[in-house]
Structure 1
Amino acid sequence: MTTTLTDHAIPLFPLGTVLFPDGLLPLRIFEVRYLDMIKKCHRAGTPFGVVSLLQGNEVMRAGAPAPERFHAIGTRAVITHFAQPQPGLYEIFTRGSTRFRVTASSQTPHGLWMADVEDIPADPPCAVPPDLTYVAAALVRVLDALTASEFTPSDTPKHFDDAGWVANRWCELLPLQPDDKQRLMEMRDPLLRLELVGDVLDRSSFEG
């Protein structure tokens, strides 16, 4: 059944990953349903939505046993770098911006998902409490080691004094299950998110 959407509907990119606000996400675009969408977003300077898959594959396959299903809460992705190394292939860098909730969605005949969304407020500024400063300090060490990586550009703004920002970066780095990352991304309380990350670090070797 086709749902009638508003003129403010945004394109969606269902992926097997979770994009956090301020997170970096490199993508190689080759599917026909996304090539035109990405080109239009790049030219207009508009974001698209990244939502984590519940069912289905990132790449659309004919005769797939089940249609794509995705979480209702996702994150807008802003294109920060665009390249076309060859015809039919785009290589882009995106940065996560605001979270949103899908209120209605519909799939176009060529497979692109469009959705009406409502914004979710950004994390309120929240200082890292004294008992969790070790979480921020460990993140400093990890990101320093990754500075040369294309996934962590050296000019990326860093906010080691902000609980939400520190928690989000750890959520990206830690080997958590996609559903766990989704739940953490959806949390409205950045301090609780940071406390849960601290619990994971206490059980791992990341803080060493």
Structure 2
Amino acid sequence: MSVQFPAESKIIGQVPVFPLNIPLLPHCNLPLQIFERRYLDMVADCLSNGTGFIVTLLKEGNAELEVLRDLPVAANSGDLPFYRVGTFAEITDFGQRDNGLLALSVKGVYRCILADITQQDSGLWVAHAASVQDNGDLDPNLSTALLTYLEAATSEQIWQQLETDRAGISPEQAMNYLITLLPFPGKIKQMLIETDLLEVRQQKLVEFIQLLSAKQRDHN
């Protein structure tokens, strides 16, 4: 299966890939704890070279499969345990926790599409990547509603963990944080991540929130 980069994409080159159970979107912060050797080495290389890595969402049920060596390593296999569109992450802070684990703070910069994906002997995934542009404008009325919803749905503790000033959240950040934090299935989160038009992503998010709210009411 051949993967073609969009014509308007900026080619980044080969970068490490960090599959996670939680997505990262542009302009959002994400705290991580690093303990696997492959990712400790990845972080060391990134810090040494002033580079970043790509966070991509694991497909549901693939967390354990992701570390197995018998997965197809062909560049464009359709059996990969994670999605091909993720977000380039830059490291904003790091340190050691009391439990001895490496604490890492990253920020999403822009969405990326992956091709020529392989797994190294260390278990680290690498891929050639190209940026994917966000297009269009957000609806101001929906932006206000989503900001209000995010404020009501998010505790101060979560904001502290995200190291984000809740008073300075932009409409795009509010939309992307809701995609990150709300309990949507991974396929829905990924579909929103892969939506290039901001107004379409926003409208779809509102529709999924309405469905989620209706489902929660039915269970009460």
**TM-score of Structure 1 vs Structure 2, range by shorter chain:** 0.7 to 0.9
After superposition, residues 1-208 of structure 1 pair within 5 angstroms as 8-54=13-59, 56-57=62-63, 69-85=81-97, 89-124=101-136, 126-130=137-141, 133-143=144-154, 145-146=155-156, 149-155=159-165, 157-160=168-171, 164-203=172-211, 204=213
Query: 1:146, CA displacement in angstroms?
Result: 2.4
- Give the Cα–Cα distance (whole angstroms) in 1 for the partners of residues 130 and 158 of structure 2: 37
CA distance in 1, matches of 2:65, 2:34: 10
TM (norm. structure 2) is 0.75
* 177-186 vs 9-18, which moves further: 9-18
Q: CA shift at 1:80, angstroms?
A: 1.1
The amino acid across from 1:57 in the alignment is A
The alpha-carbon deviation at position 122 of structure 1 amounts to 3.1
Rounded to whole Å, the distance in 2 between the matches of 1:77 and 1:131 is 27
CA drift at 1:120: 0.4
Letter in 2 for 1:133: T
Distance, in Å, in 1 between the alignment partners of 2:144 and 2:58 is 33
Task: String of CA shifts for 1:100-148, please: whole Å, max 9, x gaps.
Answer: 1112111111111111011101344x243336632232224445x4267
Length, aligned pairs only = 194
Tell me the secondary structure at the aligned position of residue 51 of structure 1.
strand
Q: 1:38 is aligned with what amino acid? A: V
RMSD, matched Cα: 3.0
The structure-2 alpha-carbon separation of the partners of 1:45 and 1:150, relative to structure 1 and needing over 3 Å to count, comes to farther
CA contact (8 A) 2:26 2:107 kept: yes
* Amino acid of the structure 2 residue aligned with 1:117: A
More helix by share: 2
User: What stretches of structure 2 of length at least 5 have no aligned partner?
Assistant: 1-10, 73-79, 215-220
Higher relative contact order (CA 8 A, sep 6+): 2
1:142/1:123 CA distance change after superposition, 3 Å: farther
Could you report, residue by residue, the CA deviation over 1:134-186 in whole angstroms, capped at 9, with x for unpaired residues? 2232224445x4267432324475213xxx43321221222100110000011
Q: TM-score, normalised by structure 1?
A: 0.78
Q: Which amino acid letter does the alignment assign opposite residue 162 of structure 2? A: T
1:147–1:154: 8 Å Cα contact kept in structure 2? no
